[in-house]
Amino acid sequence: MSNHRALTRFAMPVVMIAAAGLAGCGNQSSVDPELTATLIQPVARVEIQAVKIAPGSRTGEQIYKATCAACHEAGLVGAPKTGDAAGWGPRLALGHNGLTASAIAGKGAMPPRGGGSDLTDTEVSRAVAFLANSAGASYTEPPVE
Ligand code: HEC
């Protein structure tokens, strides 16, 4: 019984809001363009941010966090750990280009492009620079245009 009463109390405002919304629908002249612009502003801002990190223009750090950290942060499945100079030392002999080629092709338990199939070659190169630099390399991360 008390459950039913609680449900009614919750449902009433919902019905009233829905009714108010429907009433507004038929009345186009009540739409204030300025108010509408203000209301959608936060959404528009989020879209601009999404454009900034569109494929091709992500930084090494952004890619690292989104894709590479999953294995390299904790050294999963034999991945050399981020910041571990001893783990990365022998690998750095391949150089920035060699390591980028490994990451693009995939190696051992690492899938091609670390699983980030939409990463461009330049983006992989940026992420490799970020990772290797954390472990003592001083590669130049290709700049984002
Ligand atoms: C699924 C886990 C996983 C993910 C995700 C991953 N890696 Fe790896 N990575 C590995 C493993 C495992 C190795 C060691 C491979 C080996 O030597 O057998 C490795 C090795 C590497 C190496 C050294 C390659 C070499 O030739 O010694 C580089 C560079 C590298 N990863 C970059 C990246 C980058 C950049 C990303 C993100 C775009 C990434 N990895 C994402 C698992 C991963």
The domain that holds 113 is classified in CATH as: 1.10.760.10
What was the pLDDT predicted at 1?
44
Tell me the residue range of the domain where 68 lies: 60-134
Indicate if 72 and 128 belong to the same structural domain.
yes
pLDDT in tens, the chain (145 residues): 444 555 445 554 444 444 444 444 455 567 787 777 777 776 666 555 544 567 899 999 999 999 999 999 999 999 999 999 999 999 999 999 999 999 999 999 999 999 999 999 999 999 999 999 999 999 999 999 8
Indicate if 65 and 111 belong to the same structural domain.
yes
Domain count, the chain: 2
Does 79 contact ligand 1 (Cβ within 6 A)?
Answer: yes
Cα angle 143-144-145, degrees, rounded to a multiple of 5: 110
Distance 144 CA to ligand 1 centre (A): 22
Residue recorded with tokens 């991360």: 141
Candidates 87, 117, 94, 93; CA nearest to 104 is: 117
Do 24 and 36 touch, CB atoms closer than 8 A? no
Indicate if 22 and 73 belong to the same structural domain.
no
Residue type, 62: Q
Question: How far, CA to CA in Å, does 46 sit from each of 12, 50, 51, 64, 90?
Answer: 34, 6, 9, 22, 42
Does residue 21 sit within a domain? yes
Candidates 69, 43, 86; CA nearest to 127 is: 69
Does 127 contact ligand 1 (Cβ within 6 A)?
Answer: yes
Does 65 contact ligand 1 (Cβ within 6 A)?
Answer: no
Longest dimension (CA), the chain: 74
Does 60 contact ligand 1 (Cβ within 6 A)?
Answer: no
Prediction pTM value: 0.73
What was the pLDDT predicted at 45?
62
Distance 130 CA to ligand 1 centre (A): 13
The token duo for 32 is 């204030």
Distance 75 CA to ligand 1 centre (A): 10
Does residue 144 sit within a domain? no
Indicate if 66 and 127 belong to the same structural domain.
yes
Residue bearing the CA closest to ligand 1, atom 4: 114
